[in-house]
Structure 1
Amino acid sequence: MMNFIDLRSRLASGEFDFLIGLVEDEHFDAKSGKYDLIGESGKLELAKDVSSFANRSGGIIVIGAKTTDDPAFYGRRIDSVSLFPFNLINPTDYHNIIKDWIYPRPENVDVDWIPSKDESDKGLVYIFVPDQPENLRPFLLKKDVDPSTNRRRKEILFGYAERVSHSSDPVTVEAFHLMVRHGRENRWKEDIGSRLAAIEARLSESPEEKERKKNLEQIVLPRVGRSVEAAGLKEHRTYSLVVSPVDSTEVESILSSTPDSIASLLEQPPPLRYAGWGMETGDRAKLIGGEIRRVKADEYKVLDLYRDGTLVFACRADEALLGWGNRFGKTRINPVALIETTYMFFKFYELVLARLEPVINEARVWVLFHNLHSGGEITSLAPHGVDSTSQITDFYKRDAPENDYVGRVRIEIQNFDASRTAVLILREIYGWFGIESDKIPYLTTDKAAIDVERIKKLSL
């Protein structure tokens, strides 16, 4: 995927066929038609989208590109382009709404109509939001709309939106409150983090390695709860993975933020493919209590790396992430999302292992699901891949037998292989749902490893 600056340059050529097949992400949004600026809701939608890019690191909105959900990609994919005449959109109206609805006003936002090379009287519109100076953030919505009347609210209030993956959903009041508290009470949070880290350190320290092994689960599992809470996932259906060394060790460079540090890898984890499921959050790696590096996308996912080599990941197990693009909505897990996410977690841990000193011999892995019976709706999983008949009918689906689940696997680190380790975890997951291991899709012929090349080809 090209970056949003290059995408703008490509649009200027007037050749738009390259848009077909592109997938929305944290820097790119597609709209099939213009914003409805007659009603207040359309103005709010425009302001929300622009401010969400401004609160991240910029982006581009293309108007005239229709998208569809595709279970092979994490994001909506463009399947057609609809050109329209120059006079259908007035850029001045868009600029006025951005000025009136967003505070402070984002700098150098560009709204432009680009004529088609083949039909000069028709074209597309883009809204380009460059990366903004840090001292201007956050960008707040000065107005809100009552959905029951489509009229502007008169109460004193404001809103906040931040682009996460392919979505510009507004941040909840509770989440924004936590963000403000993080800024205003940084010393308090650091103090609490230091105390928790000190308690964990005391629990982790034992005269004998045998004692550490005995207490490892009691040390590690509470960390999952803290990660889930930190990302605002507690009330959602969640999927979590944890890997922790049995031996005492330490992550080198965890206190550093240099380009070659582990913090940089957390901020920009290597992807497997275009628009796939991975560890990316778009966040800066925060140092907490001198013991944890954290990146998170609030109410989507979180990745915590501890100084002792423990890696904790948690994400939504509904339509926001693991259930994305599924024809059966938020309660059916997308097998591509589950398998690719699991593999990418262990692929990232390969990078962590290279930075552990001393090297370790053994680790333990936990897999957890939470809230799978939430609201009386039960999360389900079906065998085989996204294109199989088992995914387009309820007949083959298997419901989660309980609301919560914890599975455990012990792994040897010598010759560690992310692909084979992921399969060990997937066997536990599919087995818990009542599905035989030979029905797990996207595996090699011997069913012992992830068929990585097959997953990569989903983006071709």
Structure 2
Amino acid sequence: MTSLSRSALIEALTAGRPDDLLGVAETLWLDFKGSPYNLASEKGKFELCKDVAAFANAHGGLLVLGVKAEKKGNQALEVATGFHPFPQDRADVVQYVDTLNEYLRPRVEISHHWYRDPGRSAAGTDLYYLVLEVEPLPELSRCVLVRKLINDKGNLTEGLAVSVRHGDRTVYMPSEDVYQLINEGLRARDTAPTGALVPAHEQWHEEPDEVLDELEQRQDWEETPVLFWQSVPAQPPSQILPGLHSHDGIKGALRNQDVLRDSGFNFADNTGRLQTLSGGLFIGRPRSAVWVRPDGLMTAGAVANPDMLCWGAQQSAPVVMRINAHVVTEMTLEYFRLADRLLVPRVPGPWRHRIVVRRFAGEKPRVLAPGGGMMQSFLSDAVPASDDTWDRSWVANGDPERDAYEALERFYTLFGVDVATNPDVEGDRVVEARLRAK
């Protein structure tokens, strides 16, 4: 029995090496399915909804369709034992989404990716694995309900179910726990200030995306590949972000940043660029920017060209532009040293962190290789971004090293590269001491 990180699993499928999954155990975030969900049957619809809801009620996860799993011998966990890739026309992803939207409340965000199996495909018949990636539901919006139950005849019937992920299994929340959650929610509703229980996405509407657009326009990045980091409180503070313009608060910390390295890659204000923007604080340089708004929304960005994230690459490179792993790691940790230490403690309640990539797969795609800096791996090992845009979020840990890891794991997954190959990563952390020592 073996284990793989999310990014290593995606890397294996992207590279056409599904056999790397043989013996891999199912986990809290990984569930194998030997075949696509059969939405022609009501049982198939229920199984899809149950499995997606379970991940959304936990920490999110991957449903890998086309890989069979079973217990072997005296093993406690199910492990991948066989491969059954299938043609793409056997799984209608649009119908999957429609089914989820019909039977789950609230709605759950999922994305999907197809991975071809070159070894099992035949002439004229391409076979694929389908991976459904489920985003976790914010704590304030939990739990996801399945609006129907399945009876002993395999038919949908009236009722509600709350499925959760428990270790490598999907189980149902006991009725006593569901009852307690309902009562706690009713009591909280009766005692909370007006608007306090409105879900985060309804509180913020489209503002986080609008801020990204505004930052792009302000920086003249509309045609430039960019990586954004963003942090959003569950709801805006009732007043101005505490300490925003204080010299011993956020303004002072941005003006005199405690960076990892004096000559490193960061958001430091070395030339007095800190200014007031829409009542918030803004530092803008051609290659990077950071913006803290009075409502607590924090956004930063860096260009993916030789001026920053592709540091050391040749501007005249004819085909691809290579991401410098060291630079993206240092910038990511520097961002979360600001967000987790300056903002998160000032606004109560859960926060969500987010990374957004734009224009990474154009005429000159951005590529990423395993390992560290430019001189530590070959260009031939580099993998191009699998999508032009990429938007992933998670519930903030409040620990810069942990949140930097979460961001990098999602960033590396865009390229199908295992984040564990990054020399500054250890376990589920980006080690600050290693970056300071460079």
Normalising by the residue count of structure 1, what TM-score does the alignment of the two structures yield? 0.49
Structure 2 CA distance for partners of 1:301 and 1:206, relative to 1, 3 Å: farther
Percent identity (aligned) = 16
Q: What residue number does 1:285 align with?
A: 274
The offset of 1:314, in angstroms, is 0.8
Q: Secondary structure in 2 aligned to 1:295?
A: strand
1:384 aligns with 2:366: no
1:331 aligns with 2:321: yes
The offset of 1:364, in angstroms, is 1.1
Q: What residue number does 1:125 align with?
A: none
* 1:166-204 deviation line (CA, Å, top 9, x unaligned): xxxxxxxxxxxxxxxxxxxxxxxxxxxxxxxxxxxxxxx
Q: What residue number does 1:340 align with?
A: 330
Which of 218, 226, 231 lines up with 1:230 in the alignment?
218
Aligned 1:236-255 pairs, distance under 5 A = 236-249=224-237, 250-254=240-244
Structure 2 CA distance for partners of 1:283 and 1:239, relative to 1, 3 Å: farther
1:315 aligns with 2:305: no
The offset of 1:224, in angstroms, is 1.1
* 1:290-337 deviation line (CA, Å, top 9, x unaligned): 3x211111x211110011211100111110101112479571000010
The offset of 1:411, in angstroms, is 2.1
The offset of 1:355, in angstroms, is 6.3
Q: Secondary structure in 2 aligned to 1:315?
A: strand
Amino acid at match of 2:266: G
Q: Secondary structure in 1 aligned to 2:355?
A: strand
Aligned 1:130-169 pairs, distance under 5 A = none
CA distance in 1, matches of 2:389, 2:399: 28
Which of 204, 209, 217 lines up with 1:216 in the alignment?
204
Amino acid at match of 2:366: T
8 A contact 1:322–1:338 mirrored in 2: yes
CA distance in 2, matches of 1:363, 1:300: 27
1:303 aligns with 2:303: no
8 A contact 2:367–2:385 mirrored in 1: yes
The offset of 1:236, in angstroms, is 1.4
* 1:128-166 deviation line (CA, Å, top 9, x unaligned): xxxxxxxxxxxxxxxxxxxxxxxxxxxxxxxxxxxxxxx
CA distance in 2, matches of 1:304, 1:268: 15
Q: What residue number does 2:414 align with?
A: 432
8 A contact 1:245–1:310 mirrored in 2: yes
Amino acid at match of 2:368: L
Q: Structure 1 stretch 333-342 or stretch 211-220: which is displaced more?
A: 211-220
Q: CA RMSD in A?
A: 2.4
Q: What residue number does 2:436 align with?
A: 456
The offset of 1:408, in angstroms, is 1.6
8 A contact 2:386–2:415 mirrored in 1: yes
Structure 2 CA distance for partners of 1:289 and 1:387, relative to 1, 3 Å: closer
CA distance in 2, matches of 1:353, 1:323: 29
Structure 2 CA distance for partners of 1:208 and 1:274, relative to 1, 3 Å: closer
Aligned 1:174-189 pairs, distance under 5 A = none
8 A contact 1:206–1:212 mirrored in 2: no
8 A contact 2:306–2:314 mirrored in 1: no
Normalising by the residue count of structure 2, what TM-score does the alignment of the two structures yield? 0.51
Which of 411, 414, 425 lines up with 2:396 in the alignment?
411
* 1:212-262 deviation line (CA, Å, top 9, x unaligned): 3445362212101111211222221111100111133242132x3x53242
8 A contact 1:253–1:262 mirrored in 2: yes
CA distance in 1, matches of 2:321, 2:374: 18
8 A contact 1:287–1:294 mirrored in 2: yes
Q: Secondary structure in 2 aligned to 1:209?
A: coil
Amino acid at match of 1:457: A
CA distance in 2, matches of 1:454, 1:319: 23
Q: Structure 2, unaligned stretches of length 5 or more?
A: 1-192
Q: Secondary structure in 2 aligned to 1:248?
A: coil
8 A contact 1:442–1:450 mirrored in 2: yes
Q: Structure 1, unaligned stretches of length 5 or more?
A: 1-204
The offset of 1:353, in angstroms, is 2.8
Aligned residues: 240
